[in-house]
Amino acid sequence: MTRRLSVLGLLRAAVIVGALLWTLGPILVAAVTSVSTQSEITASPAVWFPHHPTLRAYRALLPTGAGGGGAGSEAHQFGSAMLTSLVVSLETTAVTLVLSILAGYAFARLDFRGRKVVFVAVVSTLVLPVFALVVPLFRIMATLQLINTNPGLVLIYVSAIAPLGVWMFYSYVKDVPVGPQEAALVDGCTRFQALVKIVLPQMRPGIAALTTIVFLASWSQFLIPLLFAQSPSLKPVTVLITEFVGKYNTDYALIAAAGLIALLPPALLALSQSRQIRGMLSGGDL
């Protein structure tokens, strides 16, 4: 028994190490690229490590650097884009979570006519490719005067991400035992109180995972902000970085550095959410 468990332990360690190598390998390439000169990046045969590492790209992107932080400077634009991405992603996460929890709970626990049809309709929208919707969406957003606005952007993100949220919450709520909730209802709690006081605390790990998913899904949006957030003040970092692609020359170090900085907010969010992931109490799982 002990021997078999340690085999499993080794296997687990191997999986973790393998996953880290697979994930971080390319990120490491980005890190090296971000401190290399252009001629080292494009050198053939490849130069693995820069001979004269330089922080030029980071200096150009950070307000304290030589690039200066004045309006219109690269650092200023980048900072503003990071802030936009953060604000829009946080707003989307908050709205999506609340709406998905309510709807997921309703579909899983409340018996009302039409819920099956409506639930399936909501979840099915996941298969729609964004390319198929952009033009009619553009028309509606123009009519509602929501193009180039923060609420407009957040609403489209929510509409794209909420179906997954609803589906995941539906599935969690189904897993939560009914007993305590019924008891609370009998004790005179309202449905909403039962949801908040009894159901939600039991779903904390699920909520943490979903928070991470929604935040990342918003953070990585590209086509939607490209089309619906045209003003410089609403441009998220994913769109801004494409501007670093030149006609004949692309500053690869700058792109890599910007990409690495853009990893920080999602990584910090994931780190904070990881505390909610509970440990298994007994060693039953593989």
Partner 1 sequence: MVGDPGKNGGGGRRVRRRRLREQTTLGWAFSSPVLLIIGVLVLYPLIRGLLMSFQSLDLSSGGDGSFVGLRNYSAVLRDPQTEAAALHTLGYVGCAVVIEIVAGLMVALALNRPFRGRGLVFAALILPWALPRVVSGVLWSRIFNPDSGLLNSALIQLHLTHTNHAWFDNPYAAIFLISLVHVWGVLPLTTLILLAGLQGIPANIYAAAELDGAGAVRQFRTMTLPLLRPALGIALTTGTIAAFAIFDEIYVLAGSAYSTRSVMTQVYLTTFSGGDFGQGSALAYLLTLATAVFGIAYVRRLGRAAP
Partner 2 sequence: MSKSLTKRNPLTVAAVAATALLAAACGGTSTTASTAAPTFGAPAKGEQITVVLPSYAKIPADMLTQFEQQSGVKVTLSLDSWDNIRTRIVTANAAGQAIGDVTEFDWSWTGQFGSPTLYTPLDNAISPAMTADLQNTKTFSKGGHMMAVCYSNDARIGMYNKTKFAAAGITAPPATFDELTADLAKLKVSGASVNPLTLTASATEGATTEWYLLSMMMGGNLFDAALRPQFSDPASAGYKALAFEVEAMRKGWASPSATTANDQEADALFLGGRSAVQLAGHPGESQTANDPTQSKVAGQTAYFLEPGTAGPGKTFGLPEGLGIPARSTHKAAAAAFIRWILQPEVQAELLSKVGLLPCRASAVHALVAGGKIAGGPVIEQQLAHLTPLFPNGAPTWYAKFSTDASALINSAAKGEMTVAQAIAKMSDRARQLGNG
Contact positions toward partner 2, by CB under 8 A? 37-39, 42-44, 72, 134-136, 138-139, 142, 147, 223, 226-227, 230-232, 239, 242-250
* Three-state helix/strand/coil letters over 245-256: CCCCCCCHHHHH
Q: Is 64 in the site for partner 1 (CB under 8 A)?
A: no
Tokens of 162: 């909420």
Q: Which is nearer to partner 1, 62 or 173 (CB)?
A: 173
Q: Is 137 in the site for partner 1 (CB under 8 A)?
A: yes
Rounded Cα distance, 126 and 106, in Å? 19
Q: Which residues contact 33 (CB under 8 A, 6 or more apart)?
A: 41, 252, 253, 256
Residue of 244, 169, 6, 102 lying closest to 235 (CA atoms): 244
Binding to partner 1 (CB under 8 A): which residues in 76-135? 99-100, 102-103, 105-113, 115-116, 118-129, 131-133, 135
CB 279 within 8 A of CB 205: no
Binding to partner 1 (CB under 8 A): which residues in 169-198? 171-172, 174-175, 177-178, 181-182, 185, 191
CB 148 within 8 A of CB 231: yes
Range in contact with partner 1 (rule: CB under 8 A) among 55-63, 71-79, 253-261: 253-261
Q: Is 225 in the site for partner 1 (CB under 8 A)?
A: no
CB 100 within 8 A of CB 166: yes
Rounded Cα distance, 149 and 154, in Å? 9
- Shortest Å distance, C-beta 121 to partner 2: 25
The CA distances from residue 78 to 14, 84, 120, 185, in Å, are 38, 10, 41, 51
Rounded Cα distance, 215 and 267, in Å? 11
Q: Which is nearer to partner 2, 136 or 283 (CB)?
A: 136
Q: Which is nearer to partner 1, 48 or 70 (CB)?
A: 48
Which member of 189, 200, 213, 226 binds partner 1 (CB under 8 A)? 213
Q: Which is nearer to partner 2, 231 or 282 (CB)?
A: 231
Q: Is 23 in the site for partner 1 (CB under 8 A)?
A: yes
Q: Is 246 in the site for partner 1 (CB under 8 A)?
A: no
Q: Which is nearer to partner 2, 10 or 140 (CB)?
A: 140
Q: Is 142 in the site for partner 1 (CB under 8 A)?
A: no
